[in-house]
Amino acid sequence: AGTGWFQVQRLFADRLHRQHWCCTDCFTVRWTRVCVDWECLHLDIRFSGVCLRVPRFRTTSFFCAAIELYLCILPKPPIVDIAIAISWTVTVSIGAEIIGKNIFDNLTTTVCDKIYETLIEHKVIFFRDHPLSSEQHIALAEKFGPLETHAYVQGLDDHPEIVRIVKGEEEKNQWGENWHSDVSYNTKPTKAVILKSIKIPPVGGDTCFSNMELAWETLDEKIKDKIKDKKAVHTSLGAEFFIDDYKYMQGNKKRNYDEYENEHPIVRTHPETGKKILFVNWTYTKKIIGLEKKESDEILEKIFEHQARLDLTCRFRWTENAVAIWDNRSVQHYAISDFFPGRGLGYERIMDRIAIEGDRPN
C-alpha cells in the first residue's frame, strides 16, 4: 500500500498498461481511501464515510481516465516528502527513477537517507529536471562521503571536485564508452558517482548500467567455483586513455601520468548489504591471478559477456538537467558512443561528474 501522490498515479499507469491484475491495492491520498480489487474488477473509493463502488472499472477507459483525473486534482502534500517517498524501477534488475520537484533544495538527513536507501536497493537512481548548481552538486555528493580526485583528469578551475566530461561535436569517441566500474584500478575504487547532464544530444549518448550482484548470482556455477577465491589485476591504462584521446578533457597537471595497477578480489562483498558482487570489468581487468594467461583470458571473456547480458541492465536516456547516482561497487556502466561518422550525429555532449571515495574491496 502506498501513500504517495506519484505512487498512486504510477500504480494506475503500471497496472493499466501492464495488465497486471491478480492482486488488491489499497492506498490513501489525503482524505480518500482507494481500494482496487484488480481480479474482481471493482474499485472502492471511500471519502468522508461514503463509499463509491465502481464495478468493472478496468473495462472502461473512461473510468480509468476519470480516476486519474480525480487523483490529479486532489491537493498535494508537501513536495519534498512525497518526492523522496516515491521511486519506481527502471527495469526489474536495476535502476529507479525518483520523481518530484526541488528534491535537492533541502538536503535534510531524512532526504539524504532516503536517497541513499534507494540507491543501495536499486543501485542506480535517476532524477529529471533538477538544474543543480555546482555548489548544490558538491553539497549533495558530500552527504555520501569524502570526494575523490581523478588520477588523470583535471577538475574545473573553480570547482576541482567536478570533472567535466565533454564530447565535442566533431569527436567520434566518448569518455567511458565501454563497460567499466570507475577507477577499479585504484587501491580504493570509487564508492559512488553523481553525474549531472548539462548538454545532451537530441539523439544518442545514453548510458547503460549493469547489476553486478545479479551478475554474480546468475554466473555459471563452474566459473563461480573457479574464481570465487581469486584476485584479478586492474590496470589504469595511463593518461592517454583518459585525456589524449579526448580533445576537451584536461589532464591533471599535479598528477603522475604513469600506468599503474592493483589487485582486487574477483568477488567482493558489499560493505553495507553483505551481498556478493562480481568485481571485474572489461575495461580495466587484465588478468586473473594464479591462472595461465590463456585460461585467464578465456574465463574473463565469458564473464564480460555475461556481465553485459541485457537482462541485468537498464539504459538511461538523458535529458538536460538530469542526475544519475550509481553505486560504483555493485554497478558497471557504459556511455554509449553512438555518434558514428556519417550518421549525422555530430552533437556535443557535456556532463559534470563528482566521485565519492570508496574503500578497499574485500
**Contact positions toward ligand SIN, by CB under 6 A?**
165, 175-176, 182, 195, 207, 333, 335, 351, 353
Give the nearest distance from C-beta 296 to ligand SIN in angstroms.
25
Q: Which is nearer to ligand SIN, 134 or 218 (CB)?
A: 134
CB of 10 to ligand SIN, least distance (A): 26
Between 231 and 353, CB nearer to ligand SIN: 353
Shortest Cβ distance from residue 167 to ligand SIN (Å)? 8
The residue among 43 and 355 lying less far from ligand SIN, judged by its C-beta, is 355
Q: Please, which residue, 64 or 195, has the CB nearer to ligand SIN?
A: 195
**Least distance between ligand SIN and beta carbon 22 (Å):** 38
B/e letters for 10-27, b = 16+ CB within 10 Å, e = fewer, are bbbeebbeeeeeeeebeb
Least separation in angstroms between residue 56's CB and ligand SIN is: 46
Nearer to ligand SIN by Cβ, of 269 and 321: the residue is 321
Residue nearest to ligand SIN (CB): 176
Beta carbon nearer to ligand SIN, 161 or 288: 161
Contacts of residue 259, Cβ cutoff 8 Å, sequence gap at least 6: 235, 236, 237, 238
Nearest 5°: phi and psi at 280? -130, 155
Instruction: DSSP for 234-282, please give it.
Output: EE--HHIIIIIT-TT--B-TTS-----EEEEESEEE-TTT--EEE---T
- Rg of the chain on CA atoms, in Å: 23
Helix, strand or coil for residue 298?
helix
The three cell numbers of residue 258 are 604513469
Least CB distance from residue 138 to ligand SIN, whole Å? 17
Instruction: Dihedral sign for Cα 40, 6, 312, 177, please.
Output: positive
Give the three-state DSSP class for 205. coil
**Could you tell me the smallest distance in angstroms from the CB atom of residue 175 to ligand SIN?**
6
CA dihedral sign, ordered 12, 17, 19, 20: negative
171: Cβ contacts below 8 Å, ≥ 6 apart: 246, 247, 248, 339
Q: Which of 145/201 has CB closer to ligand SIN? A: 201
CB of 165 to ligand SIN, least distance (A): 5
Q: Which three cell numbers stand for residue 310?
A: 541485457
Q: Which three cell numbers stand for residue 126?
A: 535517476
Give the helix/strand (H/E) hosting 32. strand 32-37
Residue closer to ligand SIN by CB (options 159, 230) is 159
Measured from the CB atom, the residue of 4 and 155 that comes closer to ligand SIN is: 155
Q: Of the two residues 96 and 227, which places its CB atom closer to ligand SIN in the complex?
A: 96
Return d(Cα 347, Cα 339) in angstroms, integer.
8
Nearest distance in Å: CB 97, ligand SIN: 16
197's grid cell: 547532464
Smallest distance from ligand SIN to CB 191, Å: 14
Within 10 angstroms of residue 158's Cβ, the number of other Cβ atoms is 7
Q: What is the DSSP string of 318-344?
A: --TT-EEEEETTTEEEEE-----TTTT
